A and B are shown apart, each in its own frame.
Chain A
């Protein structure tokens, strides 16, 4: 398995534009997480899914952020409209509590810069 795959790796956009980040979890993992990493706040949980169903979205900053998981192998995080303060690295991660150690596996991240 290639691990958790995220795209794009880098995104530079202008304020007000829509941004869509994509994630393919490890096959067989039933939990998917979106985290945001900033220098000031470290890693913050935005939302997580279990079997494609959103379980906790209390970390989503505001209505400009939305996330979907239409099937077990794909999830998106959308920001509309984007703002400069959204600039961060967004990580997707997945895990399976029924297999192995239940370790959380991270993607390489999507670095977003909003000008």
Chain B
């Protein structure tokens, strides 16, 4: 069974500090990993996906198959990064995404 674990419900940092949102998964096949973000009063939206290997809004995430992790990182947090972040995975056969329980990021001025 697929499972996504986000151990932190809340992460609070100061503006300019580095951010790391943790995500671990369990899946025996070749998963595809995503990060979704939900800003206040906005829809849940895709932030980035591991196959794209891109940086969005300064965020990056590297898939570590050995540690089964897909942590989201940003070197310098901004106040506008405050939001709810969800890690998700799917496989090539199953079309639905399995989400973690989410981490709320608070960036204080």
A residues with CB within 8 A of B: 3, 31, 33, 35, 40-45, 48, 50, 55-56, 91, 93, 95, 97, 101, 103-104, 106-109
Contact = CB atoms under 8 A, between A and B. Distances in A.
Interface in B33-87: 36, 43-46, 49, 86
Interface of B: 6, 36, 43-46, 49, 86, 88, 94-102
Given A33-B96, A104-B97, A42 B102 contact: yes
B95 A43 contact: no
A42 B44 contact: no
Contacts of A48: 95-96
B102 A50 contact: no
Contacts of B102: 42-43
A3 B95 contact: no
A41 B101 contact: yes
A106 B6 CA distance: 21
Given A33-B97, A101-B49, 12 more contacts: A31-B95, A33-B96, A41-B101, A42-B99, A42-B101, A43-B44, A43-B86, A45-B97, A97-B95, A104-B97, A106-B43, A106-B44
Contacts of B36: 104
Contacts of B49: 101
Q: Max chain A CB contacts within 10 Å: which of B97, B98, B100?
A: B97
A45 B43 contact: no
A44 B98 CA distance: 8
Contacts of A101: 49
A103 B46 contact: yes
Nearest to A97: B95
A27 to B, nearest CB: 17
B36 to A, nearest CB: 8
Contacts of B45: 106
B100 A108 contact: no
Contacts of A93: 44
Given A41-B101, A42-B102, A43-B86, A56 B43 contact: no
